[in-house]
Amino acid sequence: MSYENFPESDVPDKNATKKNSRNILMGILVVALLGTWAYIIYDKNKSRMEKEDLTTQLVNSDSSKNELQRELDDAALRLDALKTSNVKADSLLRTKDKDIESLKSRVQSILNDRNATKEQLSEARRLIAQLKGNIDTYTAEIESLKTENAQLTEDKRIVTEQRDVVQKNYDSASQVIKQKENVIDVGSTLSASNFKIEGIQERNSGKEKVTTKAKRVDKLRISFDIDENRITTSGIKDIYVAITSPDGKPVIVDALGSGKFVTRDGVERPFTKKIQINYVQGQKQPVTVEWSQNSNFQTGDYKIEIYNNGFKIGEGVRNFRKGGLFG
């Protein structure tokens, strides 16, 4: 039997193979373990960063909300200040209340939302900017109203001063006119002259006879002239005849047209008879007045006064005596 000798290095080493296998497995396990640790560390870092990012977002969100809340409060204060600064401003803002409150409510609802998103906060910021812009517009309008009001006040002051001047001038002119009218009115008062007072007896034959005996007097005939007056306008003029009997009493018979008139002194006095004459400006005019009464005439002096325009323009006296034995 023959034997072959092989080199020692060419003979497989089972132990070495097993050792290599274990080393490879160990390497794989180490790599897997390192990968797991790396993943765990990465995941923890990622979670920590996400948590920190979320915290930052929350902080930033709260800060934005606080800032927006301050801006909203400032806008509300400006609105309140505008309302109290001027009555017209308050009136103007009351017409805008619905729009203003709608904006404020929308913004406040976003700020009150704990989970408000960036988009919502952006909308709130936009709405606040819109509200501020509206406030600026209202402020400009109010300032314009104030300016207009100030101008109107100044215009009113000027007009009032002008009115007062005109009123003063008018009052002065009216006073002058009134004085002139009064002068003209007084100057237009008629005057009487050439008084003649007679007692008239009416006979059965129809003829008349002048008498001074009281018991025979049937009527008084009073005649006088209205003097020419170039101020008095032509037209109907009232003449009042006041007769006073010898006993000092005014002769008044209501049934025969007696009454009362007011003198220029504001005194009310009775008249016996009122007549109207158609006076012609600048001309002398004779006037005759007759007075008869149901009762007998008294003995003594009868006083006759003539009035026009509240002034006494003439007077005369007629005495009637008792009759003789045969009347």
Residue 42 sits in the same domain as residue 141:
yes
Q: How many CB atoms lie within 10 A of CB 139?
A: 16
Q: How many residues does the chain have?
A: 327
C-alpha–C-alpha distance, residues 51 and 16, integer Å: 52
Indicate the angle between helix axes 87-112 and 118-187, nearest 10 degrees. Answer: 170
Residue 159 sits in the same domain as residue 237:
no
Is 284 within a domain? yes
pLDDT for the residue numbered 95: 64
Residue 239 sits in the same domain as residue 302:
yes
**79 near 96, Cβ under 8 Å?**
no
Q: Give pLDDT tens digits along the chain (327 positions).
A: 555 554 555 555 667 677 777 778 777 877 777 777 777 777 777 766 665 565 555 555 567 778 878 887 887 777 777 666 655 556 666 666 677 778 778 888 888 877 778 888 888 888 888 888 877 877 777 777 778 878 888 888 998 888 888 888 888 877 777 777 777 778 889 999 999 999 999 988 889 999 999 999 999 999 999 999 988 999 999 999 999 999 999 999 999 999 999 999 999 999 999 999 999 999 999 999 999 988 889 999 999 999 999 999 999 999 999 875 554
C-alpha–C-alpha distance, residues 284 and 160, integer Å: 53
pTM above 0.75, yes or no: no
Q: Can you give the residue range of the structural domain that contains 215?
A: 192-320
pLDDT for the residue numbered 56: 55
Is 59 within a domain? yes
Q: What is the DSSP letter of 182?
A: H
pLDDT for the residue numbered 12: 55
Q: What is the DSSP letter of 309?
A: T
Residue 155 sits in the same domain as residue 196:
no
C-alpha–C-alpha distance, residues 217 and 240, integer Å: 22
- Pairing of the two strands 311-320 and 300-308: antiparallel
Q: What is the DSSP letter of 154?
A: H
Residue 298 sits in the same domain as residue 238:
yes
Is 4 within a domain? no
**69 near 111, Cβ under 8 Å?**
yes
Is 39 within a domain? yes
Residue 37 sits in the same domain as residue 148:
yes
pLDDT for the residue numbered 130: 83
The domain boundary, picked from 144, 164, 184, lies at 164
Residue 155 sits in the same domain as residue 207:
no
Is 186 within a domain? no
Question: Which residues, in sequence order, are CB contacts of 315 under 8 Å at separation 6+?
Answer: 195, 303, 304, 305, 306
pLDDT in tens, 143-195: 777 788 788 888 889 988 888 888 888 888 777 777 777 777 788 899 999 99
Is 6 within a domain? no
Is 295 within a domain? yes
Residue 158 sits in the same domain as residue 202:
no
Residue 113 sits in the same domain as residue 224:
no
> In the chain, how many domains are there?
2
C-alpha–C-alpha distance, residues 174 and 196, integer Å: 43
Please give the structure tokens belonging to residue 145: 């109203």
Residue 148 sits in the same domain as residue 206:
no
Residue 82 sits in the same domain as residue 152:
yes
Is 180 within a domain? no
Task: Give the residues across from 259 on adjacent strands.
Answer: 271
Please give the structure tokens belonging to residue 321: 């005596």
Residue with tokens 């390497």: 27
